[in-house]
C-alpha cells in the first residue's frame, strides 16, 4: 500500500475570460485518486472537513478506491485554493487557509504504527508549508523513512512560503527521501542559477536515489546513480495544467509498484529510466 499524506481542498479556478468554477483538488488528493484509479492500493492521510465540500472530497477518494482509514475529520471549514489561469493554461495560486481543515493535521492524528504492507509514503505541496501539518509530516517521515520508500513532490507554491524554515524543512525531508519528483521551476527555486541536470545531481548527493524532473512540453528528465536520461513528451493540445504533475507522479509510483521496484534501496537500469 502507498500512503499519500497532505491536503485535500477545493480549487476555485478563475479563467482569463472571467469565468470561474470550483473543483476538488490539492496535490496529495489528486495523487491518491490517480494512484487508486491505476489499481494501486492507496490510503489518504490527511485532515478533512465535515462540511459539504469535505464530504465531497471524501466521497471522491472512496469512489476511486482510496482508503480513508488513516484520514481524520473535523469541524473546520474546507481549505480553499484560488487559481488564476492565464491564456496559456498556467495557474498561479492564492490560498484561504486560516482556521481551515487541511493545515489542522496534528501529531495525535498520525497512526502510531503503520501496517507492514505500507511500502511507500508520498508527500509534498502544502504538506511542507502549513502548520501544524508540516511539522507533523516531517516528523512522520523521520520516523518511517527507514525501510520504506519516501517520495517527495515539492510542488512549490511561492505565495505560501513564509521564511527560511520552509527551505530547511524541505532539505531535511529530501535527505530522507528515496524519490524526488519536481518541476523545472521547483528545482530552480531549490538551486538558483543551476540547470535542472545539475540540480538533479545535487538532489542525488543530498540523499535521493531517483530524481525525476518534469519539463512541460519538453518531456521529463530522470537521474539515478550515474545515469541521466531525457524523455520527449508526446505532443498534445494544452487544455489545463492543473493536476498534471500530480498525475505524472502517481503514474511514476504506479509503474515502480507494478515492477516491484518500490524499495528503500531503489535500483534501476538505464532501460527502466
Residue 78 predicted with pLDDT over 80:
yes
User: For the chain, what is the mean pLDDT?
Assistant: 94
Residue 185 predicted with pLDDT over 90:
yes
Q: What is the mean pLDDT of residues 173-179?
A: 97
pLDDT the model gives residue 89? 63
pLDDT the model gives residue 88? 64
Grid cell digits, residue 143: 520516523
Cα dihedral angle (123, 125, 127, 128), rounded to 10 degrees? 100
Residue 146 predicted with pLDDT over 70:
yes
pLDDT the model gives residue 72? 98
| Longest alpha-carbon distance in the chain | 50
pLDDT the model gives residue 162? 65
Q: What is the mean pLDDT of residues 18-28?
A: 92
* Sign of the dihedral through C-alpha 142, 57, 215, 188: negative
User: Which strands make up the sheet holding 9-14, listed edge to edge?
Assistant: 20-25, 9-14, 80-85, 91-96
Grid cell digits, residue 238: 494544452
**What is the rounded CA–CA span in Å between residue 83 and residue 242?**
9
Angle at 46 between CA 26 and CA 212, to 5 degrees: 55
Query: Residue 14 — very low, low, confident or very high, per pLDDT cuts 50/70/90?
Result: confident
**What is the rounded CA–CA span in Å between residue 268 and residue 273?**
7
Nearest to 121 by CA among 109, 110, 129: 110
Residue recorded with cell 527555486 = 189
How do residues 84-141 score in pLDDT, each as one tens digit?
877 666 677 889 999 999 999 999 999 999 999 999 999 999 999 999 999 999 999 9
pTM of the model: 0.94
Percent of the chain with pLDDT over 90: 81
Query: What domains lie within the chain, and their CATH numbers?
Result: 2-258 (3.40.1190.20)
Q: Is 7 helix (H, G, I), strand (E, B) or coil?
A: coil
**β-bridge mates for residue 227, sequence order:** 224
β pairing state of 72-74 and 220-224: unpaired
Residue 16 predicted with pLDDT over 80:
no
Query: Residue 183 — very low, low, confident or very high, per pLDDT cuts 50/70/90?
Result: very high
| Tally of CB atoms within 10 A around 172 | 16
Query: Residue 53 — very low, low, confident or very high, per pLDDT cuts 50/70/90?
Result: very high
pLDDT the model gives residue 18? 77
Residue 260 predicted with pLDDT over 80:
yes
* DSSP letters for 203-232: HHHHT-SEEEEE-GGG-EEEEETTEEEEEP
Beta carbons of 179 and 209 less than 8 angstroms apart: yes
Percent of the chain with pLDDT over 70: 98
Residue 17 predicted with pLDDT over 90:
no
Q: Is the peptide bond before 99 cis (omega within 30 degrees of 0)?
A: no
Grid cell digits, residue 157: 507554491
Q: What is the mean pLDDT of residues 43-65?
A: 99
58 against 159, higher pLDDT:
58
Beta carbons of 131 and 113 less than 8 angstroms apart: no
User: Which strands make up the sheet holding 210-214, listed edge to edge?
Assistant: 42-45, 2-5, 120-124, 149-153, 179-183, 210-214, 220-224, 227-231
Amino acid at each position: 500500500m502507498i500512503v499519500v499524506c497532505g491536503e485535500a481542498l477545493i480549487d476555485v479556478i478563475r479563467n482569463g475570460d472571467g469565468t470561474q468554477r470550483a473543483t476538488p483538488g490539492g496535490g496529495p488528493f489528486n495523487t491518491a485518486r490517480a494512484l487508486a484509479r491505476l489499481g494501486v492500493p492507496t490510503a489518504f492521510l490527511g485532515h478533512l472537513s465535515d462540511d459539504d465540500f469535505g464530504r465531497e472530497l471524501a466521497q471522491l477518494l472512496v469512489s476511486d478506491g482510496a482508503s480513508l482509514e488513516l484520514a481524520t475529520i473535523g469541524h473546520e471549514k474546507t481549505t480553499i485554493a484560488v487559481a488564476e489561469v492565464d491564456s496559456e493554461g498556467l495557474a498561479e495560486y492564492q490560498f484561504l487557509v486560516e482556521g481551515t481543515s487541511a493545515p489542522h493535521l496534528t501529531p495525535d492524528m498520525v497512526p502510531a504504527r503503520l501496517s507492514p504492507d505500507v511500502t511507500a509514503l508520498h508527500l509534498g505541496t502544502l504538506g511542507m508549508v502549513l502548520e501544524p501539518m508540516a511539522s507533523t509530516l516531517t516528523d512522520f517521515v523521520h520516523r518511517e523513512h527507514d525501510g520504506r520508500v519516501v517520495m517527495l513532490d515539492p510542488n512549490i507554491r511561492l505565495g505560501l512560503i513564509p521564511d527560511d524554515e520552509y527551505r530547511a524543512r524541505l532539505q531535511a525531508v529530501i535527505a530522507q527521501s528515496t524519490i524526488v519528483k519536481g518541476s523545472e521551476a521547483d528545482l530552480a527555486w531549490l538551486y538558483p542559477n543551476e540547470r535542472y541536470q545539475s540540480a538533479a545531481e545535487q538532489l542525488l548527493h543530498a540523499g535521493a536515489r531517483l530524481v525525476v524532473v518534469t519539463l512541460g512540453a519538453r518531456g521529463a528528465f530522470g537521474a539515478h546513480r550515474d545515469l541521466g536520461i531525457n524523455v520527449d513528451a508526446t505532443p498534445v493540445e494544452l487544455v489545463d495544467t492543473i493536476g498534471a504533475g500530480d498525475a505524472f507522479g502517481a503514474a511514476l509510483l504506479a509503474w515502480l509498484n507494478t515492477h516491484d521496484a518500490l524499495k528503500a534501496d531503489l535500483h534501476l537500469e538505464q532501460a527502466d529510466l
